[in-house]
Amino acid sequence: MNRDWWQMPCKVPDRVARDKAQARQQQLTKPAGSLGQLEGLAVELAALQGRERPAVEQLWIAIFAGDHGVVAEGVSAFPQAVTGQMLHNFVAGGAAISVLARKLGASLEVIDLGTALPLSELPGVRHLHLGAGTANFADGPAMNVAQALLALQAGRDSLLRAQQAGVELYIGGEMGIGNTTAATALVCWLLDCPVAGLVGPGTGLDSAGVAHKAAVIDAALALHRPALATPFEALRHLGGFEILALVGAYLAAAQQGVPVLVDGFICSVAALAAVRLNPDCRDWLLFAHCGAEPGHRRVLHALDAEPLLQLGLRLGEGSGAALAVPLLQLACSLHNQMATFAEAAVAERPT
């Protein structure tokens, strides 16, 4: 495998399928544009899937989990033991994303990239053991080059498994105590913007905790900035195993031609990093929601993204994306099953 595989060309959405889907939308028994964003979704999915009538029934949800050394700086309201405990919860079926995946009939894959506390092998979890979480980026790089490459590859491998299973839509989710700190640090570098206004409570910090978290990020950015010559180096120095895995999955999806529904703040930061590594991957990314974390709206704006939902979510796990799936399914059903004016013998608007 080429070390810089993510720079390989991305697939190009099917223009013919897009045009056919757009023409069909104009023939359906409704005023043009009356279904708003749902019309554009159906047309976009048609282009990404290369067929006039798209479908979103074969779903793959991958949850990437990893711990963060920066938690040692007191940036989280929860202990790192929660990451491993949630892995148990995911495969036992008790987590929010587990419930949503069951309801949607989606394949749910859980990938442990590296937890801070020792974890016994769990049935239903892929254990990759990239390290006992990342290193504390307040002191030095979060990971070495080899770990960063393996994390990217873990995301790519997940996408390839999904593609082999015939997936029509891929969702990446994340779990990792401390990962809003890593994601916010990445946003500040990627968008060259100050920490103030972007840092949020994560799993539930109070105002003093948020201020401390901002100070930790500011100091880390000052420490690492001279070494952050590329998006890859920014990811390696400031990111987390699960964030890099999401980046790898998004890039591979664009290269393989698999539509992606991006979840919340952490996943959107990974999407922004993926676009910086390979701009052509942007075409393959749909965005599920705008969450409660302060930096999320800023990231979506930078990606020129129109989220489907705004429900004040900040859970992660891919849960917001899973909640948005029915909208995509209904957009496809309307597009595929509504009658045309000719089929229904309904008069069209005079031209």
Active site residues: 317
Q: How far apart are the first and last CA of the chain?
A: 56
Nearest to 267 by CA among 284, 283, 246: 246
Phi and psi torsions of 209, nearest 5° = -65, -40
Asked if 68 contacts 113 with a C-beta cutoff of 8 angstroms, the reply is: no
d(CA 285, CA 153): 19
- For residue 62, list its beta bridge partners: 109, 172
What is the four-CA torsion angle of 310, 313, 314, 317, rounded to 10 degrees?
-100
**The amino acid at 170:** Y
d(CA 33, CA 139): 53
DSSP string for residues in 298-331: HHHHHTT---SB-S-----TTHHHHHHHHHHHHH
Cβ-Cβ contacts under 8 Å for 103 (sequence gap 6 or more):
none
Asked if 240 contacts 176 with a C-beta cutoff of 8 angstroms, the reply is: yes
Cβ-Cβ contacts under 8 Å for 277 (sequence gap 6 or more):
6, 7, 231, 232, 247, 251
- For residue 28, list its beta bridge partners: 340
Burial class (CB in 10 A: 0-12, 13-18, 19+), 97: buried
Asked if 241 contacts 270 with a C-beta cutoff of 8 angstroms, the reply is: no
